[in-house]
Amino acid sequence: MRPTDRMPFRTLIAFAAALTLFASADRALAAPETLNIDTNHTRAGFSIRHFFTNVRGEFKNTSGTITVDQADLNATKVNVEIDAASINTNNDKRDTHLRSGDFFDVEKFPKLTFVSKSVNIKDNKGTMTGDLTMHGVTKPVTLDVEVGGFGKMGQMGTVAGFNATGKLNRKDFGILWNRTLDQGGTMLGDDVALEINVEAKTPMQPPPPKAADAAVSK
């Protein structure tokens, strides 16, 4: 067979190899990745009516993981833990009251948790339903979610952003304290609006052991 006759076959082999490489790259891109919630760049915020206006607050310490497949966002799994004592409304006296038995009772119930159960996202927007445990009570909560985006950030690995909003009734979780006003009505509302902004990143890898440490370990 002449060399010119072999060229089409070689071209076919090269084309098949290229397709294999592209397919492998696609599979790698689509692989689920578990990211850690970055506490320093995450805000678990809320607002509630106080007399005739809304007062805002947040929990300072939020941690957890988000397992996400960028090719199938509906397979996303979220596991969040919030330190109840980290509540902050920019008023020390009020925050102390919120930590007491009248509200979150943080000594008895130190953590709030959220575990996702189902996700429905299209074009980076949708809903997420999961079990919220607060004040020792677990109830399903549905959040409106938006995927902010994903990016590779060098040594930081993958960085992702997510936003969520929702509403819950605090009485459903056994947080009942209130005061009746002389002219009627109550000091506090029952509905709590949620606004959550999450930044999640590839878990940090521990640094390699130094040569001296490696020698000692042997």
- How do residues 66-108 score in pLDDT, each as one tens digit? 999 999 999 999 999 999 999 999 999 999 999 999 999 999 9
What pLDDT does residue 16 have? 47
* DSSP string for 127-168: EEEEEEEETTEEEEEEEEEEEEEEEE-GGG-EEEEEEEEEEE
Q: Is 193 exposed, middle or buried (0-12, 13-18, 19+ CB in 10 A)?
A: middle
What pLDDT does residue 107 have? 98
Is the Cβ–Cβ distance between 87 and 95 less than 8 Å? yes
Query: Does residue 19 carry a pLDDT above 60?
Result: no
For the whole model, what pTM was predicted?
A: 0.81
* Gap between the Cα atoms of 142 and 130, Å rounded: 7
Q: Which two tokens stand for residue 97?
A: 């009251």
Nearest 5°: phi and psi at 181? Answer: -85, 150
Q: Which two tokens stand for residue 99?
A: 């930590």
* Gap between the Cα atoms of 13 and 20, Å rounded: 11
User: How much is the mean pLDDT over the chain?
Assistant: 88
* Gap between the Cα atoms of 1 and 60, Å rounded: 74
Mean pLDDT across 134-143 = 98
Mean pLDDT across 16-25 = 45
Q: Is 28 left (phi over 0), alpha (psi -120 to 50) or beta?
A: alpha
Query: Does residue 13 carry a pLDDT above 60?
Result: no
Higher pLDDT, residue 153 or 133:
133
CATH class of 32-203: mainly beta
What pLDDT does residue 204 have? 79
Distance (Å) of CA 210 to CA 205, 213, 218: 15, 5, 13
Query: Does residue 20 carry a pLDDT above 70?
Result: no
Mean pLDDT across 21-31 = 48
Q: Is 107 exposed, middle or buried (0-12, 13-18, 19+ CB in 10 A)?
A: exposed
Q: Which residues contact 29 (CB under 8 A, 6 or more apart)?
A: 70, 71
pLDDT digits (tens, 9 = 90+) for 172-198: 999 999 999 998 899 999 999 999 999
Query: Does residue 58 carry a pLDDT above 50?
Result: yes
What pLDDT does residue 215 have? 55
Closest of 198, 175, 204 to residue 81, by C-alpha: 198
